[in-house]
Amino acid sequence: MRAVQVRVARGGLDALLARLPANGLEGKFSLPYGIASALVDGAVTFPSFSADAFARTSVQQLMRRVEVAEDTGPAVPRWAEVIVRSIDGTERVARCEILRGSAQCPPSDDEVAAKVVDCFDHGGLGKEMAQHLLAFARDLGEAGGAAASDPNAPSAGWLDAFVPRR
């Protein structure tokens, strides 16, 4: 990629760094780093912010070619536009006018499950524990949530470590 331009609605950069990040932690608050990670990896996950992921030459070089601008128009509705320019001159444009994860554009069950697995794995609880939680949540949903409101309902066992029984 030759260059990436990102434009956002007014106020869209307020919580973000105005400079390039110095490490993975700062990368969480950097639009250029987030865009570069997404383009290189196809997704942004907890490992995207590790020291090793941050130090990758491909991400570092691309991050420096991401130009960010805030629009001067109204702050609402929120939107963002990304233009990726290839070395051969090809341009790809994507515009988002509905925030991903909002009530208007909720994540799919598979996306939520992937996020839960990523969180548990990053937190040291492991993917297997995440799968148990997801299965338990599915079972609750299929049972109409009855088990959640009944303190005497049987649990999957592993949940007892997190939620004391009454």
- What is the reported pLDDT for 18? 96
Give domain limits for the chain: 3-96, 109-161
What does the block give as tokens for 69?
Answer: 């601008």
**CA dihedral over 14, 16, 17, 20, signed as positive or negative:** negative
How do residues 55-77 score in pLDDT, each as one tens digit?
A: 999 999 999 999 999 999 999 99
What span, in angstroms and rounded, lies between the C-alpha atoms of 162 and 104?
A: 32
Give residue 142's pLDDT band: very low, low, confident or very high (50, 70, 90).
Answer: confident
- What is the reported pLDDT for 102? 86
DSSP 98: S
pTM: 0.78
- The pairing of beta strand 91-96 with beta strand 3-8: unpaired
> What are the φ/ψ torsions at residue 21 (nearest 5 degrees)?
-75, 155
What does the block give as tokens for 97?
Answer: 């006018």
CATH number of 3-96: 3.30.1330.120
Q: By C-alpha distance, which of 156, 126, 119 is closest to 138?
A: 156
Give residue 166's pLDDT band: very low, low, confident or very high (50, 70, 90).
Answer: very low
Q: By C-alpha distance, which of 61, 71, 70, 1 is closest to 33?
A: 61
